[in-house]
Amino acid sequence: MDVSNLAFFIAIAVLCLPCTVFTEANFKVPREIASKFSRDPQILSLASTDYGHIVHETPSQVFEPSSVSDISSLIKFSNSLPTPFTIATRGKAHSILGQAQARRNGVVLNMTNLKGSLVSVSNCSGKSLNCYADVGGEVLWIDVLHATLERGLTPLSWTDYLYLSVGGTLSNAGISGQAFRFGPQISNVLQLDVVTGKGELVSCSRDKNSELFYGVLGGLGQFGVITRARIPLGPAPTRASIFMWNILQVKWLHLLYNNFNAFSRDQEHLISFSENKNTTAADYVEGMLLFNQPPLDLSFYPDSDHQRITSLVTQNGIIYIIELVKYYDSNSQVAKDVADLVKGLNFVPTFIFEKDASYEEFLNRVYAEELFLRSKGLWEVPHPWLNIWIPRSRISDFNEGVFNNIILKQNISSGISLIYPLNRNKWDDKMSPVTPEEDVFYAVSLLRATSSIDMVKKYESQNQQILEFCKGAGIKITEYLTGNKTQKQWMEHFGSKWKLFADRKAQFDPKRILSPGQGIFQ
Ligand code: FAD
């Protein structure tokens, strides 16, 4: 064979390596999982996108496990090859930058149909403190809510949107307006079952295999696949009943501010009750902004108030809104609790609005928006979001530099903008996420949707401008749900935690097989 022929055969062999990886003849795919791989164009196409609709990577194959042992076999199979293939665990793919996608001929591990362990609630009395649910990593939080409410119980910490998988949110952090009081979802886990990057199924907790436990929580899918999580439960608002889903149990308030300092001071005051077992503590505290930019979403407020709210926004440019919730069992008690909570707060006089909802209606509030946006064709569109955490000491500078001087001044719709403080003592620093190093930090989410490629570019450039402003002003922010980074940027992101993160990778996924879409180790 002459040299050019040899080069040709080597080239073919190299090019075909990824495509032949899974053929039984060449690499002995374990018989029990051979039928779980799919190259169906529709399935591949679905696995090559996510909620963000910005990054698109077509995997070589999609793997549909029927059991935890299938997952273990898949990962062991990859480990056994001279060139292992990467595996992207895909929960509900509500990532925004390809985090659950497989790059360069990897495999997407689709958890959706696993239905291994679902939700099993412990045998305990509703008032006892030892109730928990064992939940499959693939299960959606909405299903956890339904299964636990049937027993008069509920998880304590949520995300705003419930059609996310348990494994997906626990791989990030999982925050919402309850986190100031109970911590993020990752602080509300008792045990995990994890199939590591070596394919071993390991149970872990704070006391057992703790390095894996702490690594996986907020670990961006780098160390293993979460197949079960044990979630502590508390009593649901006691007016809950399986026969009366819609009974009113939640007092839901909006307080409007035209002064940022008063707004943030009051938010911090409200979250300072978290250590206090006193029932007057709020059950949920978030915040949002209304910019004097169309469209103005006033759907929470009575029609009769739209005019005066619009005037307030027009006069001030930006209005800040505290969103406050108190769960209740009795009407008279909640009236007193709410009066106590808002006493002394400095919102614009008379700009306080409240409504009642069922516990489920409140927790599942974003679903109503999803249905509305789907009906307008505005759900399956690009989402150039920015999620960041900001230390309390610089939040006022952030307001001035970003909300007033960047977003308000640019002629593009601000989308939905959330801002709320969190207590750092509710986070466990042994876990993977990095947070700003102050007792209180703010979560800011700029949530945009657009069907125009031009607008995606404008939002991306605005996001970049915001990050650069923070860097220039010395505001040490942390990005959340971030992606598209070089390894150097990831090292900066993790800072002093990088070594721990990399050591855990070497220990639990030494061949760097898992979650390539995060772009950390590939
Ligand atoms: P995927 O996108 O499928 O996966 C995310 C990452 O986790 C990937 O790296 C994936 O490989 C890995 N992964 C997935 N499943 C597992 C598993 N079982 N084991 C190990 N790794 C796994 N976040 C908040 O904190 N608070 C919010 O209020 C909030 N609201 C949101 C609202 C909307 C409309 C959307 C789209 C997202 C929201 N998020 C929120 C972000 C959300 O928590 C994350 O995007 C989360 O990853 C989504 O879960 P998923 O199942 O879609 O994960």
**For 20-45, what is the HEC assignment?**
HCCCHHHHCCCHHHHCCEECCHHHHH
Pocket test for ligand 1, best of 112, 142, 165 (most atoms within 8 A of CB): 165
Class (C level, CATH) for 3-111: alpha beta
Residue 311 CB neighbours (<10 A): 10
Dihedral-angle region of residue 220 (phi above 0 means left; psi in -120 to 50 means alpha; beta otherwise): left
Q: Whose CA is nearest to atom 33 of ligand 1?
A: 161
Nearest-CA neighbor of 351 among 265, 259, 268, 257?
Answer: 257
Q: What CA–CA distance (Å, rounded) separates 346 from 360?
A: 30
Any idea what the Cα angle at residue 378 is, between residues 374 and 383, rounded to 5°?
125
Give pLDDT tens digits along the chain (522 positions): 343 443 433 343 443 443 444 544 456 899 999 999 999 999 999 999 999 999 999 999 999 999 999 999 999 999 999 999 999 999 999 999 999 999 778 999 999 988 756 778 887 765 556 899 999 999 999 999 999 998 889 999 999 999 999 999 999 999 999 999 999 999 999 999 999 999 999 999 999 999 999 999 999 999 999 999 999 999 888 654 555 555 778 999 999 999 999 999 999 999 998 655 555 799 999 999 999 998 899 999 999 999 999 999 999 999 999 999 999 887 778 899 999 999 999 999 999 999 999 999 999 999 999 999 999 999 999 999 999 999 999 999 999 999 999 999 997 888 999 999 999 999 999 999 999 999 999 999 999 999 999 999 999 999 999 999 999 999 999 999 998 889 999 999 999 999 999 999 999 999 999 999 999 997
**Side chain identity at 338, as an amino acid letter?**
V
CA 447 / ligand 1 centre spacing (Å)? 15
The C-alpha R_g of the chain, in whole angstroms, comes to 24
Give the architecture-level CATH label for domain 119-235: 2-Layer Sandwich (3.30)
Alpha carbon nearest to ligand 1 atom 35, residue: 94
Backbone angles phi, psi at 493, to 5 degrees: -60, -45
Q: Is 213 helix (H, G, I), strand (E, B) or coil?
A: helix
Report which protein residue has its CA nearest ligand 1's atom 43: 169
Task: Specify the residue with its C-alpha closest to ligand 1, atom 49.
Answer: 168
Q: What is the CATH number of domain 250-357?
A: 3.40.462.10
Residue position matching structure tokens 């061949």: 511
CA of 12 to the centre of ligand 1 (A): 38
Nearest ligand 1 atom, CA 137: 18
Q: What six digits make up the tokens of 23?
A: 């053929």
Kindly list the distances between the CA atom of residue 139 and the CA atoms of 38, 244, 279, 464, in Å, as whole numbers in the listed order: 22, 24, 32, 34
- Residue 409 and residue 403: Cα distance in Å, rounded? 9
CA-171 nearest atom, ligand 1 = 7
Q: State in Å: Cα 516 to ligand 1 middle.
A: 15
Ligand 1 atom showing the smallest separation from residue 515 Cα: 11
Token couple for 399: 């307001």
Q: Which CATH architecture has domain 386-480?
A: 3-Layer(aba) Sandwich (3.40)
- Nearest ligand 1 atom to the CA of 383 is 36
DSSP letter at 86 equals: P
Contacts of 401 (CB under 8 A, 6+ apart): 469, 470, 473, 475
Testing ligand 1's pocket by substitution, the residue of 169, 213, 364, 366 carrying the most ligand atoms inside 8 A of its CB is: 169
C-alpha span between 54 and 50 (Å, rounded):
8
Distance 276 CA to ligand 1 centre (A): 31
Cβ 65 vs Cβ 201: under 8 Å: no
| Residue 227 tokens, joined | 């197949």
Residue 10 CB coordination number (10 Å): 10
In angstroms, what CA-CA distances link 47 with 29, 41, 162, 327, 479?
A: 22, 10, 21, 39, 25
Give the pLDDT of residue 483.
87
Q: Which two tokens stand for residue 401?
A: 């530099």
Among 101, 161, 164, 418, say which to mutate for ligand 1: greatest number of ligand atoms within 8 Å of CB: 164
Q: Is the ipTM, as predicted for this complex, more than 0.90?
A: yes
Nearest CA to ligand 1 atom 31: 161
What is the Cα–Cα distance from 116 to 138, expressed in whole angstroms? 8
**To which H or E segment does residue 323 belong?**
strand 318-327
The DSSP H or E segment spanning 252 is strand 250-257
CA–CA gap between residue 405 and residue 418 (Å, rounded): 17
Q: Give the sheet arrangement for strand 284-291, strand by strand.
A: 352-357, 250-257, 318-327, 284-291, 416-423, 440-447, 386-391, 478-479
| Model-wide pTM > 0.90 | yes
Q: What is the pLDDT of residue 130?
A: 84
Alpha helices in 35-159 (DSSP H): 41-47, 68-80, 141-149
Query: Do 3-111 and 250-357 show the same overall fold?
Result: no
Nearest CA owner, ligand 1 atom 14: 168
Tokens in use for 460?
Answer: 């991306």
pLDDT score at 16? 40
What spacing in Å lies between the alpha carbon of 462 and ligand 1's midpoint?
A: 24
The domain locations on the chain are 3-111, 119-235, 250-357, 386-480
The pLDDT of residue 495: 97
Mutation choice for ligand 1 from 86, 90, 373, CB with most ligand atoms inside 8 A: 90
Distance 93 CA to ligand 1 centre (A): 7
How far apart are the CA of 168 and the centre of ligand 1, in A? Answer: 4
Beta strand residue intervals within 111-165, DSSP E: 119-121, 132-136, 153-155
Say how many Å lie between the CA of residue 15 and the centre of ligand 1. 33
| Residues that are catalytic | 94, 160, 286
Residues with CB under 6 A from ligand 1: 50-51, 88-95, 99-100, 111, 137, 159-161, 164-165, 167-169, 171-176, 220-221, 225-226, 481, 515, 517-518
The pLDDT assigned to 124 comes to: 79
Closest Cα partner for 420 from 300, 259, 237, 269? 269
